[in-house]
Amino acid sequence: MIEENIKSEVVGVDISIESTTYAIVDVRGNILAEDSFPTTDYPDVNIFVSTLSDKIVELVEANGGYERIRSIGMSSPSASSVTGCLENAPNLPWKGVIPMAAMLRDRLGLAVALSNDAHVSALGEYTFGCAHGMKNFIVLSLGVGLGSCFFSEGSDHVGHLGFAGEFGHTCVVENGRQCGCGQRGCLEAYAGANGIVRTAQELMADTEAPSLMRDLTKLSPRTIFECCEQGDKMAIEVFRRTGEILGLGLANYASIIDPEAIILTGGISHAGKWLLDPLSESFENHVFGNMKGKIKILVSKLNDRERDVLGASALAWSVPEYSLFK
């Protein structure tokens, strides 16, 4: 039998803390159309899913129609590819266990694949980015949260429950800072965006030394980075401490996984030498001896929006096709 209506496009959806981006992507990885809206405008998850569904329909109908769409891939923090649910996401407005994939599938009548944002980011790097051609690597997303995924022999490891790679919730300081997950001492509480801001606040409280950070109306990793660029010693110390503890965590991770490379993504990865130099030094000081000097630490060359949407689209191609519109 000759198949006349081959579906050559998918929809990629990336749910982040700040915004939700959705795009139509063809089989070659070309983004044909996209749009976004603020995630936090919808504290009720049912209204969020309804809004997302309506917006996807509008985008699809304006760009060729449903008959061209095969499936949908979704990326979100705290998502399980095993259950298709968001589960107790500490940084999203919706709490508890949410069957996000099923909710969107029932509204749109198309197959939906859902996975953790770090796993989707890694898939984007593997398919379209600097991990292309690698078989064993770690992708680390540095933002409000710290997510990761590792590929082993060309396949991503999702784990029994679908939560493998929760690197940000490994303990690096016993009885340390309170983390959004409810535990204490998590790496995310030190190297995530809020953790970096807290380090800056603690440094300013502990000394009366002058700092450009004291004059900022809003502290953030970006504004602290800008102070570093102006030679502010206290701001430089903030990123030195961040890089040191992050390098330690990554050394432990790499000593177990034995990757060819570690690829850094997310806004904080663009802090340049202020983060990367102390991170690399700490990493080499702590990684297993036989691996010293042999693991590349790279910064992704894809922009975050592009990588995550393309990763979600690659995920969409992996799900068995299902449609009410055949």
Domain ranges, ordered by start, for the chain? 9-117+305-318, 130-301
CA dist 312 and 22 (Å) reads 9
Q: Do domains 9-117+305-318 and 130-301 have the same CATH topology?
A: yes
What pLDDT sits at residue 1? 44
What tokens were used for 220?
Answer: 């953030």
Low-confidence residues of the chain: pLDDT under 70: 1-5, 322-326
What pLDDT sits at residue 323? 55
What pLDDT sits at residue 290? 97
Four-residue CA torsion sign, 185, 190, 194, 200: positive
* pLDDT tens digits, 271-315: 999 999 999 999 999 999 999 999 999 999 888 778 888 899 989
CA dist 165 and 256 (Å) reads 12
**Residue appearing with tokens 């690829």:** 263
- In degrees and rounded to multiples of 5, residue 79 shows phi and psi of -100, 145
Q: How many Cβ atoms from other residues are within 10 Å of residue 285's Cβ?
A: 12
130-301: CATH superfamily: ATPase, nucleotide binding domain (3.30.420.40)
Tell me the C-alpha to C-alpha distance, in Å, between residue 256 and each of 119, 163, 214: 18, 17, 41
| Entry pTM | 0.83
Tell me the C-alpha to C-alpha distance, in Å, between residue 97 and each of 1, 80, 94, 159, 233: 43, 10, 9, 18, 44
Q: Has domain 9-117+305-318 been given CATH number 3.40.50.1700?
A: no
Check if the beta carbon of residue 13 is closer than 8 Å to that of residue 75: yes
**Residue appearing with tokens 């060729």:** 64
Report which secondary-structure segment, H or E, holds 156: strand 155-156
Check if the beta carbon of residue 326 is closer than 8 Å to that of residue 135: no
What pLDDT sits at residue 322? 61
- In degrees and rounded to multiples of 5, residue 301 shows phi and psi of -95, -10
What pLDDT sits at residue 305? 77
